[in-house]
Structure 1
Amino acid sequence: MMVLEGIVWKLYDISSWIMKMMYLNLLWIVFSLLGLVVFGFFPATSAMFAVTRKWVLGEKEIPVFQTFWQAYKSGFIQMNIIGFVITIIGAILYLDLRFFQASEHVLLSFLAFFIIFALFIFFAVVLYIFPIYVHYKFNTFEYIKKSIIIVIGKPLNAIMMIVGSYLLYVVFSMIPFLTLFASGSIASLVLMWIAMRSFPRYEVKVSGV
């Protein structure tokens, strides 16, 4: 009887976590759309990371909507500025890559490899932006600076972030259900867990969310 009761509680915990992940993913989608995607994606994504950060820290029973909404509205302007900056940088790197790849000049074609390397660094920096934003309290552009410092200073962790993202992409490609209902929340939970391993343990949390 005790074994059966344990199984029932375990199934309840699993189903409860599934519902939480789906609910958080729904909030991410809805609030991204409320900002017409262009203005909603970055603050909604940072709000999602604010929730998963608390889960990673062991705060399992937090009010999900309240935590999400507080992070969304408090970071709306700042995250849109950060998002605008990294979007411009990413676009420039991509256009440079296409230009160098299309060039018939040997030297310019060779430079394409450096741009590819820069894009990997850029991708890792972007992955770190959201965990850093919800974990620290900086001036707007210091988040980008901190992300670059961590990526360069802890390359193995940066590689873990990139590899983790790729593995998640593979899993989501194989299981469309996850892509539709929990891709964002699962990805943020995994990336937040990896990112927390990159933050010095002596640094006290100063984020207000």
Structure 2
Amino acid sequence: MNMFASTLYRIMEWIMRFAYIQLLWVGFTLIGLVILGFFPSTVAMFAIIRDWLRGKTDIRIFPAYWQYFKTDFIKANLIGIPVIAVMLLIGINIFYIQTDMTDYLSWTYIPLFAFMLLILLCLFYLFPVFVHYDLKIPGVMKNTLLIMLVSPVHTFLMIICLTALFFVMRTLPALAFIFGGSTYAFITMWLSLHAFNRVERKKESVS
């Protein structure tokens, strides 16, 4: 009975942690008026989850979150500029193609969707690379692309896990509000750490 109660307590503790960090993510995003708050808030969430996955489960969440948020505020927003620019470019292209759908333009769907897929897959690794490596913005972008390209298995597992998560959240929308962002961050951070370790082992074997 004591083992059952202890296990149940641990499960409830982690559920509360995920809900709490989701709340912090939403709250700090709003504090930054969304535009200035989204990227540093997301970076802070990934950094906390990285700490958990690396065994630092006893950290005080709010002080650590605030520290990550303010430390990476400028850098996170700077890396958000090219991300937003690319998203706007994709959106404009889709709008243009849909409003002028001729036989001449229809072929552009193929390279556009290929580009969109590449960007989507890179986004899976962007925040994990940002919080795991101490790199300047060009280095973050470069390593994000390279790690995504050399980690097809991890990328495939991300797609499978996130697709399953999407259908669960779609069935139970309340879960998306309470755990959506933190669960996404946990899945991508966990698989990314495995990808990082694999890349580092390869580097060591080569050297």
The answer for the alignment partner of 2:37 in structure 1 is 40
> What 5-or-longer segments of structure 1 have no aligned partner?
205-209
The answer for the alignment partner of 1:13 in structure 2 is 10
Moved more, 169-178 or 47-56: 169-178
SS in 2 for 1:87: helix
Instruction: Give runs of aligned pairs for residues 45-64 of structure 1, distance below 5 A.
Output: 45-64=42-61
Amino acid at match of 1:35: G
Q: 1:123 aligns with which of 112, 120, 125?
A: 120
> What 5-or-longer segments of structure 2 have no aligned partner?
202-207
- Structure having the larger proportion of residues in helix: 2
How far residue 102 of structure 1 moved from its aligned partner, in angstroms, is 4.5
- Provide closer, same or farther for how the CA distance between residues 202 and 121 of structure 1 changes in structure 2, counting only shifts above 3 A: closer
The answer for the alignment partner of 1:81 in structure 2 is 78
How far residue 177 of structure 1 moved from its aligned partner, in angstroms, is 2.6
CA contact (8 A) 1:128 1:147 kept: yes
How far residue 202 of structure 1 moved from its aligned partner, in angstroms, is 6.9
Q: 1:199 aligns with which of 188, 191, 196?
A: 196
Deviations 1:27-47 (A, max 9, x none): 111100110011001100110
CA contact (8 A) 1:164 1:191 kept: no
SS in 2 for 1:59: coil
**Separation in structure 2 between the aligned mates of residue 190 and residue 133 of structure 1, nearest angstrom:** 16
Deviations 1:29-88 (A, max 9, x none): 110011001100110011000011111122221221122111111111111111111110
How far residue 103 of structure 1 moved from its aligned partner, in angstroms, is 4.2
Q: 1:170 aligned to 2:167?
A: yes
The answer for the alignment partner of 2:25 in structure 1 is 28
- Provide closer, same or farther for how the CA distance between residues 25 and 104 of structure 1 changes in structure 2, counting only shifts above 3 A: closer
Q: 1:111 aligned to 2:108?
A: yes
Instruction: Percent identity, please.
Output: 31
How far residue 104 of structure 1 moved from its aligned partner, in angstroms, is 4.5
**Separation in structure 2 between the aligned mates of residue 201 and residue 163 of structure 1, nearest angstrom:** 20
CA contact (8 A) 1:102 1:109 kept: no
How far residue 162 of structure 1 moved from its aligned partner, in angstroms, is 3.1
How far residue 199 of structure 1 moved from its aligned partner, in angstroms, is 0.7
CA contact (8 A) 1:101 1:109 kept: no
Q: Structure 2 length as normaliser, TM-score?
A: 0.89
Q: 1:91 aligned to 2:88?
A: yes
The answer for the alignment partner of 1:159 in structure 2 is 156
The answer for the alignment partner of 1:207 in structure 2 is none
Q: Structure 1 length as normaliser, TM-score?
A: 0.88
Q: 1:68 aligns with which of 65, 70, 84?
A: 65
- Provide closer, same or farther for how the CA distance between residues 166 and 145 of structure 1 changes in structure 2, counting only shifts above 3 A: same
Amino acid at match of 1:53: R
Amino acid at match of 1:136: Y
